[in-house]
Structure 1
Amino acid sequence: MTRLAAFHADGQDRYGLVTDDGLIDLTPDFGDQYKGLKEVIEAGALKDLFVAAKGRTPDFTEDQVTYLIPIANPEKLICIGVNFPDRNAEYKDGTTDAKSYPSMFIRFPRSFVGHNEALVRPPESEQLDYEGEVTIVIGKGGRRIAKEDAYDHIAAITLCNEGTIRDWVRHAKFNVTQGKNWDKSGAIGPWIVPFTHPAQLDDIKLETRVNGEVRQQDRTGRMMYDFRYIVNYVSTFTTLVPGDVIVCGTPTGAGARFDPPIWLKPGDVIEVEAEGIGILRNTVRDEE
């Protein structure tokens, strides 16, 4: 599995190839051309990075780097809500039937941290929750993209823990923005995996664990709105551009749905895992 990561090491933001032994820094090779992985994707140059890394040994071990979110500055970071059948049934406000169109909202990059970093619980609320999700990165832009062409527009896939401050998503009707955008409340990563075949998305297992306990588990083949539909639908009302990030929905089992709810607390370890992508791991700390 080919993996490309953004990371910080020796006082500089970098990107490169992830191996079992560490990370190959490709910033010296391409940094003058491409500031980050978004710019690499915009140029259609992911393959150039693989070629440059061939036969090289790692420049950093994993404990020498701080992982960053893979795409630092997407033009759009769009999230799809309530996209698994059992997840839809969790809602007790009378809207238990699947709807014709997906729920959607926007997040800011500042609301995410990278792999192995701590999610931040703010002093205003203890209701920090987890949501494990498969995430796509657009490689070829377009408007009104046909469903049959959608996969041609995806450059890479990654994972998201779409961390949420639950009581703040209920501050107003039809408005979750304020509960979804607390600084460092979620995570994206640990890396991007180039998307080359439909089997990488069509029916893969997605699982979220908290302190080793499985809390969420489902398969993408059960999503109410599949990846092709999502690309088609989103591109109908807005032009997708290279580097756009779309977070595609979480299974049932978030902490809010337990009785009583189980909120994340400092010291917890959350792992989001999907077949063919990897494991996104984060801890929790209180805001300083």
Structure 2
Amino acid sequence: MNPIATFRAEGKDRFGVVTPDGIVDLTADFAPRFPGLKEVVEAGALNELALAAKDRDADFSEDQVTWLPPIANPEKLICIGVNYPDRNAEYKDGQPQPKYPSMFVRFPRSFVGHKTPLVRPPESEQLDYEGEIVIVIGKAGRRIPQENAYDHIAALSLANEGTIRDWVFHAKFNVTQGKNWDRSGSIGPWLVPFKDGAQLDDIELVTRVNGEVRQKDRTSRMMFDFRYIISYVSTFTTLVPGDVILCGTPTGAGARQNPPVWLKPGDVIEVEAEGVGRLVNGVEDELC
């Protein structure tokens, strides 16, 4: 099935199906039922969109649109930290694997879409990258058993969970202020409808900066797999359609280079995963 994207064209936010020839705009076809892809996910209608685009000509080429994060207004954006063995080993605290996952939340305003530059603020030069797999919840649930977890996934995407690294260390017990700078991260380029576990269980995740591989690992090595993440998170909060979960980054972020290498204007970051796509962003300084 072709991926489904949110984008801006001709001054209007739209959604549609991405084909090899361009994007089929389905906004008019499905309004007012679905103002955006969150509502499509809530209705379980991703397949309906895909069928509606069949045998239709593209309305826009990819260079005619501004890509937006696929889910514009999720109720929750939940991030899982330190979820690959080599990433955990960076902490050198003698703990081979924590008992529970590290977690934090992000605000929608902290993300841009595919091919939109990440923004480096004047307060810090330590803008860093973190490539991650994203799952989008399609079916609500609380205390979801692991064996049923995949029934609650609607779609997959990618994230560059951009971080202002020195601000992560401003406080003793949280990383919130380093993780929520406006337009510091990205999600996209689109949603890939989820069908079965083969799309997630053992896929390669790679992050490149200016063509150089910086991060590379496989999801089969995650310390807390996707089923566990859904079950664990839903224990303390109800997951609802459109919720977005970022599932952790491999080792190799700029902070772990020797010496550290921070993102700067002109850099190009690519996050790629098998069967999901390739998320690309540049970097620019914030204009104050």
- Range of TM-score over shorter length: over 0.9
Question: For 1:67, what is the secondary structure of its paired residue?
Answer: strand
Aligned partners of 2:99 and 2:132: how far apart in 1? 21
Q: Which runs of 4+ in 1 moved over 4 A?
A: none
Q: Shift in Å at residue 97 of structure 1? A: 2.9
Which residue type is aligned with residue 184 of structure 1?
R
State whether structure 2 residue 236 is matched by structure 1 residue 240: no
Name the count of aligned residue pairs: 287
In structure 1, the partner of 2:12 is 12
**1:211 and 2:210 aligned:** yes
Q: Displacement, 1:33?
A: 0.8
The code of the aligned residue for 1:182 comes to W
Cα deviations by residue, 1:162-207 (Å, 9 ceiling, x for unpaired): 0000000000112100000000000000000000011000000000
Deviation by residue 1:241-286 (Cα, 9 ceiling, x = unmatched): 0000000000000000011100000000000000000100000000
- Aligned counterpart, 2:251: 252
Q: Which residue of 2 aligns with 1:59?
A: 59
Contact persistence 1:90–1:96 (CA under 8 A) = no
**AA partner of residue 47 (structure 1):** N
The CA deviation at 1:31 is: 2.1
- What residue is the counterpart of 2:36 in the other structure? 36
Are the counterparts in 2 of residues 137 and 245 from structure 1 also a CA contact under 8 Å? yes
Opposite residue 246 of structure 1, the aligned amino acid is I
Task: Give the conservation status (yes or no) of the 8 Å contact 1:163–1:185.
Answer: yes
* Structure-2 residue corresponding to 1:261: 260
Aligned partner of residue 96 in structure 2, secondary structure:
coil
Q: 2:275 corresponds to which residue?
A: 276
Deviations 1:86-108 (A, max 9, x none): 0001124x364311000000000
| Alignment partner of 1:25 is 2:41 | no
* Alpha-carbon distance in 1 for matches of 2:190, 2:156: 9
Query: Structure 2 unaligned runs (5+)?
Result: none
TM-score (norm 2): 0.99
Q: Superposition pairs for residues 184-223 of structure 1, below 5 Å?
A: 184-223=183-222
Q: How large is the Cα RMSD of the aligned pairs? A: 0.8
What pairs with 1:174-189 in structure 2 (closer than 5 Å)? 174-189=173-188
For 1:192 and 1:124, locate their aligned partners in 2 and report how far apart those are by CA, in whole Å: 33
Unaligned runs of 5+ in 1: none
Q: How many percent identity over aligned positions?
A: 74
Q: Distance in 2 between matches of 1:263 and 1:208?
A: 14
Q: TM-score, normalised by structure 1?
A: 0.99
Corresponding residue of 1:46: 46
1:183 corresponds to which letter in structure 2?
D
Output the CA distance in 1 between the equivalents of 2:46 and 2:31: 13
- Cα deviation for residue 85 of structure 1 reads 0.2
Residue 83 of structure 1 is matched in structure 2 by: 83
Structure 1 residue 158 displacement after superposition: 0.3
Could you say which residue in structure 1 is the equivalent of 2:145? Answer: 146
3-state DSSP of counterpart to 2:188: strand
